[in-house]
Structure 1
Amino acid sequence: MIIKEVIVVEGRDDTVNIKRAVDADTIETNGSAVNKETITKICHAQEKRGVIIFTDPDSPGERIRSIVSEAVPGCKHAFLPKEQALAKHSKGVGVEHATPADIQEALKNVYSITETYETDIEQADLVDYGLLGGQGSKARREKLGKRLKIGYTNGKQLYKRLVMFQITREEFIAAMEDMKQEEEE
């Protein structure tokens, strides 16, 4: 599998693992303190080939994703579910621990963000489906993020992520109804 865009990752181990899975070039942020030089490289890559942000499914990874996508508009996003990014013999979480098949799947399901998209999903829908502020809401958000391939997000950011990735009300309701049915089985 050849990836045309440059993939933004957190570190060298991520690059090594990405290259095991696909033929691609990467830019490493070297942690969550993304410097101006790195942003300049990412801007240049975006202009020439496009960029896919593929960071770890944890707080520092989300911080990097936010910094880069704010500084470099038009980036695509790939997400890896947390359970696919767990280290086998330690408590580490990251792209460097994923299997080649999981990396390939995440890169097949990239999202582009457009600034003008509006949704008919309402905050009340999130409450009605138990995604905010109730018992089990975190687990439901994790399942929803995995099902929609938009990554995990906290309650405050869920609505923004649904809008950002142009998830329609129909897609949202279908995913929630499938999850509801699985819970009942």
Structure 2
Amino acid sequence: MKLREVIVVEGKDDTVAIKRAVDADTIETNGSAVNQATIEKIKRVQKTRGVIIFTDPDFPGEKIRKTIEQQVSGCKHAFLPKEAAIAKGGKGLGVEHAHPDAIREALKDAHMMQETITEEITQEDLITAGLIGGTGAKERREWLGKLLKIGYTNGKQLHKRLMMFQISKQEFAEALEVIRKEKTNE
């Protein structure tokens, strides 16, 4: 699988993991304090080839994603579920620990955040669905993020993420139905 877009990752180990999974070029941020020279590289390549931001599913990874997103418009975002990014033995979390199949799947599902945002799903919908507050809300958000391929968010950020990716009421309802069915099968 050869990718035209350049993948933005956190470090050298992530680049190695990406190259095991796909034929693609990468830009490494070398940590969460993304410097201006790196931002300029990302801006330049975004204009000519496109960019996929693919950071670790943790706080520093989200910080990098937000920093780039604020300064470089039009990037696609790929998300890896936490369980796919856990190192063998449970010591470590990141893209570098993911199986090549999980990386390919995340990159295949990369999508762009929308510039103009319309609200299809309200905060009230999230509360009604048990995604904010209450027992099991975190687990339901994790599951929803996986099903919709938008990554995990806390309760405050879920509404924003759903709007940025323009998740429709129908997609949302279908994902909730899958969660509900799985819950009854436990």
Range class of TM-score, shorter chain: over 0.9
- For 1:98, the equivalent position in structure 2 comes to 98
1:43 aligns with 2:43: yes
The residue aligned with 1:162 is 162
Alpha-carbon distance between aligned partners in 1 of 2:127 and 2:180, rounded to the nearest angstrom:
14
Alignment of 1:66-77 (within 5 A): 66-77=66-77
Q: Distance in 1 between matches of 2:184 and 2:18?
A: 37
Give, in angstroms, the shift of residue 9 of structure 1.
Answer: 0.2
- Match of 1:27, SS state, is strand
**Alpha-carbon contact 2:130-2:137 (below 8 Å) kept:** yes
Residue in structure 1 matched with residue 179 of structure 2 by the alignment = 179
Q: TM-score, normalised by structure 1?
A: 0.98
Q: Percent identity?
A: 64
* 2:31 aligned with 1:61: no
Matches within 5 A, 1:1-185: 1-185=1-185
Structure 1 residue 90: deviation in Å?
Answer: 4.1
Deviations 1:40-85 (A, max 9, x none): 0000110110000000000100010000011101100000000000
Separation of aligned partners in 2, 1:37 and 1:120: 38
What is the alpha-carbon distance in structure 2 between the residues aligned to residue 36 and residue 19 of structure 1?
Answer: 25
Output the amino acid matched with 2:45: A
Which SS does the other structure have where 1:52 is aligned? Answer: strand
Q: Number of matched residues? A: 185
Residue type at the aligned position of 2:43: C
Whether the 8 Å CA contact 2:15–2:26 is kept in 1: the answer is yes
CA contact (8 A) 2:120 2:163 kept: no
Shift of 1:125: 0.7
The CA RMSD measured in Å over matched residues stands at: 0.8
Of residues 116-125 and 47-56 in structure 1, the stretch that sits farther from structure 2 once superposed is 116-125
Q: Unpaired segments of 5 or more residues in structure 2? A: none
Moved over 4 A (4+): none
Hey, what's the Cα distance between the residues in 1 that align with 2:89 and 2:16? 19
Q: CA deviation at 1:113?
A: 1.7
The Cα offsets for residues 89-135 of structure 1, whole Å up to 9 and x where unpaired, read as 34210000001111000111011122113132111110011110111
Cα distance in structure 2, aligned partners of 1:55 and 1:171? 25
Structure 1, gaps ≥5 residues long: none
